Every structure is written in C-alpha cells, then in structure tokens.
Chain A
Amino acid sequence: MTRHAYDQALAIAPNALRAPWTRRARDAVILLLALAALVAMAVDLELAPGALMTGFGKLGRFLGEMFPPSSGGQSERILKALAETFAMAFAGTVIAALVALPLGVIGAKTVVSNPALHFAFRRFLDIFRGVPALVWALILVSAFGLGPFAGVVALALADIPNLAKLFSESLENADPKPLEGVRSAGAPPLAVMRFGLAPQFAPVATSQTLFFLEGNFRNAGVLGIVGAGGIGFELDERIRIFAFDEVAFIILLYMIAVACLDTLSRSLRNRLA
C-alpha cells in the first residue's frame, strides 16, 4: 500500500486501525483491574515466589529420580493392583448399568407419563448426580473398611444416577414407528419391547456404558488414595516414601493401560454406532 493510499484510507475511516482512546483507556483499566485482582488472590493464598522456586527445585529432583523408571522388584504386585483397578471399574460399571436400567425405564417420559411423578423422579436423581465417586468412597471406606469393595460400590453409586438419566433419555428418543409396526403385526407387549424397542435402545445404552467404563477406570485409579484399593493406593504409598522411580513406573503403566482401554472401547463404540 502506498503512503498516499494509506493516508487517504485513514482520513476516511480514522477508527479502522485503532480504537478511539476512550475505548482503549477503558480496556486498559479493565485489564489492569483484572490483573490486580489475580495478584491480590495470589497474595491472599500466600503463593510466595520463594516457595515456588524451592518447590520447582524439589520437583526437578523428583523428575530426575523418575528416570529410569523401575518396578522396584514388585512388578507382580503392581500388575495385580492394576488388574484390581480395572476389576473395580468393570464391576462398578456393570452393577451401575444393571441398577440404572430399571431406574432409566421409570424415568422415561414415555413410560411414566404423569408429569409430576416424572419431574420428582428426575430431580431425585439430580440430587445424587452431583456427588462424585471420591466423596462416596470417603463415606464407604469408613463404613466398609479399607479395600476395593468400597471402591466398587462408590463407582457404582456415582454412576447410577448419571446412567439412569442417559438411559431414560435414549428410551424417550426411540423412534415409535418400529414399535407400532411390531404391535400392528399382533405381537404381545413383551415382543414389542424385544423386537421394536431393544434393537434401537441396546446399542446406544451399551455405547454409553462403555463410555462410563473408560471414565471409571480413570476414577478407580485415584480412589485408592482414600483407601479404596487399586493402583492409587500403591502410588500414594510410594509418593509418601519418595520412591519416584517406582512412581514413574506405575504412572507409565497406568497411562498405557488407560490408552489401551480407551482405544478398545472407542473401536467397540464405533462398531455399535
């Protein structure tokens, strides 16, 4: 662009390249206020730069100790814990799906058509939908004692309301035409369910359950920190004694396992869809 054309353009539209100074001043003040608020919060939390520096020094040492990762001669025990974590996730998901299925049927608008009942049931599920597995685990560990049992029940309890909601939504979304078709052929109600509804519902529900299995495997990994068994317990123990080469070994193994399960589950879900 020539100088002349530039001057001409600027004369025609003076605000095209830069906003008027009032607007720029306002933006600057807002930005400064936001920054000041963030700094004030950091000061309030006592996030001292000194602590940050020493912490990073320590973290660097930990990371240095992580290599090479080592099983510490306990690879069998670690693999067992990993299997236990998967077992917790799998058992918890299956139990959740089995319990959520009837709840989902009750929650579907097409089954229970009374709006007041429907509303009450949905809100009832909503109350429990917010409670994460970790909070359930804290409660259940103190009720059932340390071990994977509390973890399984915690995962199931956290999933049931969520799965029930998804199940009832997919039941509501089922196309009524196949059902009418089967019914018009003179089929009894059970056959209508089996041949009209199930082929639509089962793939969707299975896919959702698989998705929850993936999430549960991640959750199960941390439940051990509050004493609910599995890999989290082993990790917690080793971090406490600063055995970071073993920590790195477990984390790597766990991340590989998560990636494997995700890939497997995704390919299964793609086949269902």
Chain B
Amino acid sequence: MNVTSPAVEAFERERRRMLIRQRTQAFVGLAIFTVLLLVSFQRSQFFGSDIGADPLGRMADFLQRMNPGLQPDVLLEGRQTRGSLHSWFYALPTWLRAAWQTVEMAILATALGSVLALGASFLTAQNLMPFAPVRFVVRRILEAIRTLPDLIMALILVAAFGVGPLAGVLTLTISTLGGLGKLFAEINEEIDPRQLEALQAAGAGPLKKIRYGVMPQVLPNYASYALIRLEGNLAGAAALGIVGAGGIGLELQRAITYTEFDTYLAILLIIIGMIFVIDLFSENVRHRLIGLEKA
C-alpha cells in the first residue's frame, strides 16, 4: 500500500500544473504558427498560383539558356564565331566600363556618406552633444533612413534625378549616412573620457575637444567600418542599377529585358569578380589599419 506524505502530494500537484502550463504554451505557440503558415501560403498563393505547366522544365530551360555554349576548339576565335569567349563576352569593354562606374559610385557614396555620418555621430553621441532634443531628432532620422530599403529610395531618387549614376550615388550616400552614423556614434560613446576631461580642464572648446580628444581615439575604428561599408555599397551599387541608378546593374537589367541569358551570366560573373577584388583590397587595408592601431 502506498503511503504518500503531504509534501510529496504537493510536489506532484505542482509538477502537474507546470507540465500543463508548458504544454498549453507549446500548443498555443504551435497553433499560432500553423495558422500563420497556412495564411501565408494562401496569401502568397504558394500552391494556388498559376505558374504554368512544367515549371521545373522551364527552370532547366532557363539554366540551359544561361549556358553560353562554349566550344573548346574555337575558344579564342573572334566575335563572329559562335562558342568563342569573345562572342560570349561580346561587349566586354562596355561592361568593364560600367563595372568601373559602379566602383566609382560606391567609393564616392562611401566617402560622402562617411563625412556626413561623422557630423551626425557627434550630434547623437551622449558624451559630446549635451542638448538632448538634437540627439533625439538626429537619431530618429538615422533610424528612419535605416528602415527604408535602398531600392525604394533609389526608385524615388531616379524619378527626381533621372536615370543615371547621380541617383545611385545619392541613394548610397544617404543609406551610408544612416548605417555609419549609428556605428560612429556608438564608437564615440565608448571613448576614454579622461582625455576629454583633460582638454576640458585646459579650457578647450567643443571643436578642439573633438579634434584632440576624440579623433585620435576613433579614426582607425571609423576607417575600418567605412571600408566594410564600401564592400556593402559595391554590392548595393550593382543592384541599384536594376532600377536605373547607373552602373553595371543597368547592363544586367538590359540583358534580362532582351532575354540574353548567357549575357546575364557573363555580367553576373563580372560583378562577382569585381566584389571579390574589392573585398580583398578592403580586407588588406583594414588589417593594416588594425596593425597600426596595435603599434
């Protein structure tokens, strides 16, 4: 015969209650998830949408058409020979020119955006900007910029500034301001306050404080972040071309419009190569900056 003490009974009761609560929570979570999933599949017409007959076949066909059909024996022949490298990359000088434009767009936008972000970061850093409403307003503006997707900003700017690199540079400058402004402000808030106090004690004004108390501490970190941003801006600049903001993306868009899918692949390869080269360069510079910091 089982003899159960009141303590054991209380424990069992407590345990059962916990188990029931856990299970209800799990059940409710699962139910919400399932409903969301079903609604999502229904809303996005995942199963119901008319994607035409044989979608996988069409995918395969698409990939097939991306194949430039290189022939090993005529690889180095002229442009007129089908299957040669030259006929695949038939407009290579134009594309390289567009790729270089994309690089220029990214560099210009990163430089301009970093300078603007520098100004914004001093306005939002708690230890440098004593006036709270200014901090609040600038911070909200930076947040708004970060929420707005680049491509949507680019669409509006292309409408205002016309098709071309100008709209792309401006878009990337603004989005760099939003991203770097926040990061720079965080760096500013983490600086050693003693140097600022020393300058303050010596009677330095706010500009002198920034120049001699902040800059020497933060410049290597700034440069490192700006270079990472440059990598991102390069990929961004390539994508922005799709909506008409200049550079190699325009060529990509053109290839799609004319359904030249082998050209699409060729331009995609150029973009990947371009991003790879800039990544290598920027990583190299960043490592040297960090090395300088240690020395």
B191 to chain A minimum Cβ distance, whole angstroms, is: 21
Complex Cα–Cα for A130 and B52 (A): 29
Q: How far is the CA of A86 from the CA of B36 in the complex (A)?
A: 10
In the complex, chain A residues whose CB is within 8 Å of the CB of B202: 1
CB-CB nearest in chain A for B42:
A87
* Smallest CB separation, A13 vs chain B (Å): 15
Contact partners of B239 in chain A: CB under 8 A = 132, 134-135
Least Cβ–Cβ distance between A213 and chain B, in angstroms: 11
**Closest-CB distance, B22 to chain A (whole angstroms):** 13
DSSP majority for the B interface?
helix
Decide: A235 and B166 in contact? CB cutoff 8 A.
no
Q: Are A87 and B156 in contact (CB under 8 A)?
A: no
Question: A151 in the interface, Cβ–Cβ < 8 Å?
Answer: yes
What residues of B have a CB within 8 angstroms of the CB of A235 in the complex? 152, 155
A45 touches B242 (CB 8 A): no
Contacts of B33-76 to chain A: CB distance below 8 A: 36-37, 39-46, 49-52, 55, 58-59, 62
Residue of B105, B151, B259 ringed by the most chain A CB atoms within 10 A: B151
Q: How far is the CA of A221 from the CA of B252 in the complex (A)?
A: 21
- In chain B, positions 237-284 with a C-beta closer than 8 Å to chain A are 239, 242-243, 246, 252, 256, 259, 268, 272, 275
B49 x A149 contact (CB < 8 A)? yes
Instruction: Please state if B165 and A47 are interface contacts (CB–CB under 8 Å).
Output: yes
**A144 contact from B51, B111, B246, Cβ within 8 A:** B51
The reply to whether B43 and A255 contact each other, CB–CB distance below 8 Å, is no
Q: In the docked arrangement, what's the CA distance between A44 and B247, Å?
A: 12
For chain A, what secondary structure do more than half of its interface residues adopt (helix, strand, loop), or is it mixed? helix
Query: Number of contact residues on B: which range applies?
Result: 35 or more
Measured between alpha carbons, how far is A142 from B190 in the docked complex, in Å? 49
Contacts A45-B101, A235-B155 given: A87-B160 contact, CB under 8 Å? Answer: no
B37, B43, B107, B259 interface centre (most CB from chain A within 10 Å): B43
Chain A residues 23-68 with CB under 8 Å of chain B are 38, 41-42, 44-47, 51-52, 55-56, 58-59, 62
A55 touches B166 (CB 8 A): yes
In the complex, the answer to whether A152 meets B160 with C-beta atoms within 8 Å is: no
Binary interface profile of B, 101-115, with partner A (CB < 8 Å = 1, else 0)? 100110110010000
* B152–A229 touching, CB < 8 Å: no
B162: CB under 8 A from chain A?
yes
Interface flag for B149 (CB, 8 Å): yes
Which of B46, B148, B155 touches A225 (beta carbons < 8 Å)? Answer: B155
Given contacts A45-B166, A144-B55, contact A251 B242 (CB under 8 A): no
User: Which residues of B from 203 to 243 have beta carbons under 8 Å from A?
Assistant: 235, 239, 242-243
A187 at the binding interface (Cβ < 8 Å):
no
Selected A-B contacts with CB under 8 Å, 22 pairs: A1-B202, A45-B101, A47-B165, A55-B157, A87-B43, A90-B36, A138-B256, A142-B256, A142-B259, A143-B59, A147-B45, A147-B49, A148-B46, A149-B44, A149-B45, A225-B243, A226-B242, A235-B152, A236-B155, A239-B155, A239-B159, A255-B144
Q: With A38-B107, A51-B162 given, can you name 7 additional A-B contacts, CB distance below 8 Å?
A: A91-B37, A142-B259, A144-B58, A221-B152, A232-B152, A239-B156, A247-B156
The 9 closest A-B pairs by CB, nearest first: A87-B43, A55-B161, A87-B40, A59-B160, A222-B151, A90-B40, A87-B44, A41-B104, A148-B44
